[in-house]
Amino acid sequence: RSYEYIETSEPRPGVGQVTLNRPKALNALCTPLITELNQALLEYQKSDSVSVVVLTGSQKAFAAGADIKEMQPLTFAEAYTNSFIESWSDLTTQIKKPIIAAVSGHALGGGCELAMMCDIIYCTETANFGQPEIKLGTVPGAGGSQRLTRAIGKSKAMELILTGKFFSGADAEKWGLAARTFSTYEELMENTLKTAETIAGYSRVAVQAGKEVVNKSQDLPLRDGVEYERRVFHSLFGSQDQKIGMKAFAEKQKAEWTHK
Ligand code: HXC
């Protein structure tokens, strides 16, 4: 399938990649781009050949935010009755396969929020993150105030959201928002694909369960989360791959997953 604002590829076994491709606007996230992104992600979700998704932009920009020119004329009534921005959440509600964000350059406003909706963030040391909505007379609208605060704590998140100050990829890693940083764009992409391939090499049932239980920690109190995890852990004794994985360990063999 061909898209206008994104490109898709399968660069490694089991790995699907979506590359945001609206270079003239630094990958500003207009509604048609988000619609295409949702379509591509849903196809990967259904695909038998893809286990893990990589979401990236260009070296210069992951995404410079929601499209300010599209938002400028919106009225409250239009935004409210059309649930403006709600479809962005499809990424978090529909996709059960892991998504790794590879962030280079600008990840601002909605771009930062999009990266934070992903399951893992890798970035360059010089990546430029921020929630600068305050400078436009507004606030984050795609989960930024919630996800940034959970990731780096209230005081830092409050400072960043109220000042609109940018922060580097190096800071993002130091504060725990990003999992790893790299000094060049090439290293970023190479290592992102390597991690994606590693995850794609495991049982898809276990990987989906792993994503599910970690994400539950963001929604549930500790006791409920631990109980939820234990239930999922119990349920995996019903999978073929749990038998295969433990038998392979005991027999010093390599596990051949059935994804069942
Ligand atoms: C629409 C954008 C854009 C955006 C950049 N462009 N960001 N268009 N929406 N968010 C366009 C510019 O208008 C310009 O188009 C072209 O991309 C290149 O941008 P320049 O500003 O010329 O580039 P540069 O000088 O390198 O500056 C880069 C930048 C700056 C620092 C990233 O573009 C910038 O500050 N952008 C806005 C960042 C921002 O405020 N993002 C948050 C948006 S609010 P022309 O046609 O002039 O060449 C938001 C709300 C989210 O995301 C809430 C819910 C999702």
Q: What is the ipTM of this complex?
A: 0.98
Is 108's C-beta closer than 6 angstroms to any atom of ligand 1? yes
Closest CA to 108 of 130, 79, 80: 130
Catalytic residue among 40, 63, 66, 200: 66
Tell the residue number behind the tokens 């704590």, with chain if given.
153
- What does each of the 260 residues of the chain score in pLDDT, given as a tens digit? 789 999 999 999 999 999 999 999 999 999 999 999 999 999 999 999 999 999 999 999 999 999 999 999 999 999 999 999 999 999 999 999 999 999 999 999 999 999 999 999 999 999 999 999 999 999 999 999 999 999 999 999 999 999 999 999 999 999 999 999 999 999 999 999 999 999 999 999 999 999 999 999 999 999 999 999 999 999 999 999 999 999 999 999 999 999 99
Strands of the 180-182 sheet, one edge to the other: 6-12, 15-20, 52-56, 99-103, 120-124, 180-182
Q: Which entry of 14, 64, 111, 133 is annotated as an active-site residue?
A: 133
Q: Is 186 a catalytic residue?
A: no
What letter would DSSP give residue 232? H
d(CA 226, CA 216): 9
